[in-house]
Amino acid sequence: MAVNNEIGIIQPLADIGAICRGKGVLLHTDAAQAAGKIDMDVNAMAIDLLSISGHKMYAPKGIGTLYVRRRPRARLLAAFSGGGQERGFRSGTLPVPLTVALGEAASIAQGELAREGQRLVSLREAMITRLRDNLGEITVNGSLNQRVPGNLNVGFAGVDAEALMAELPELAISTGSACTSASVEPSYVLKALGLDDAAAGSSVRIGFGRFTTRAEVDAAADMITEAIVNHRSGNSARAAE
């Protein structure tokens, strides 16, 4: 995983790639959370296989790509047998509109990488500052330096994150990755950082994207603040039930 999907931490792929290359081991990385957000260089990082999910970089849903290094070459088995498209890796007619859209999305993301990254960092810092000004101490889970710009995972002591989300139907925040949205268990990622169940259960993930504005960030921070204050005082709608 090039970037963790819950806390946005950038993994040391160049170091990992060097270890793998030295041992003659092929390295595959899931770059769904990284592509279009940070610089990725398959040569500098010694990456042999790299997968991308298009909608994570604003391409349409339903399209992705797999980079396969030619030397050393991974001997892959076909996902589907049939006509032999995509050099025999996956048979089936290519969705041309989706393929073109993915290429265009990648081009736009690369062209805006530095500028958009700076903008997202400023929004994230604004969210942290406003929450701290409103609530006092909050906990940011994971490094802020080795993190993609559009991710913030933050904990609020004494607050049940599931209950907080129920108080904020207007906001698209989560307690973990979308892949595990049906789970009510504390995040295994946060527990791996050393957080106990209570701390992990009080944390939410907040994302910032290309269309997020400063006004939305300020409004969201104030809505979260109000919900937490009500939750802690026992005046939340959930508590009233």
- 175 and 97 share a domain? no
The pLDDT of residue 89: 82
Query: Concatenated DSSP letters for 77-126?
Result: PPSB-SS-TGGGTB-S---HHHHHHHHHHHHHHHHHHHHHHHHHHHHHHH
Residue 94 sits in the same domain as residue 129: no
What CATH number does residue 88 fall under? Answer: 3.40.640.10
The model's pLDDT over 77-88, given as tens digits with 9 standing for 90+, comes to 887 788 888 878
In a domain, 1, yes or no: no
Residues marked as catalytic: 179
Dihedral angle, C-alpha 111, 112, 114, 120, nearest 10 °: -160
Dihedral pair phi/psi, residue 3, rounded to 5°? -135, 130
Residue closest to 34 by CA, chosen among 19, 52, 22, 47: 52
Q: Which helix (H) or strand (E) holds 215?
A: helix 214-233
| DSSP secondary structure code for residue 147 in this structure | B
pLDDT at 239: 46
| 98 and 46 within one domain | yes
Question: Is residue 7 domain-resident?
Answer: no
pTM to 2 decimals? 0.88
* Residue 202 belongs to domain spanning: 113-240
Alpha-carbon distance 147 to 104, whole Å? 25
- Alpha-carbon distances, residue 141 vs 13, 50, 146, 175 (angstroms): 21, 27, 12, 12
- What tens digit of pLDDT does each residue of 187-226 get? 899 999 999 999 999 999 999 999 999 999 999 999 999 9
What is residue 201's three-state secondary structure?
coil
| 6: in domain | no
pLDDT single digits (tens) 150-184: 999 999 999 999 999 999 999 999 986 555 455 56
80 and 161 share a domain? no
Q: Which domain-ending residue is among 106, 132, 155?
A: 106
CA nearest to 222, candidates 152, 135, 136: 135
80 and 141 share a domain?
no
Indicate the DSSP class of residue 202: T
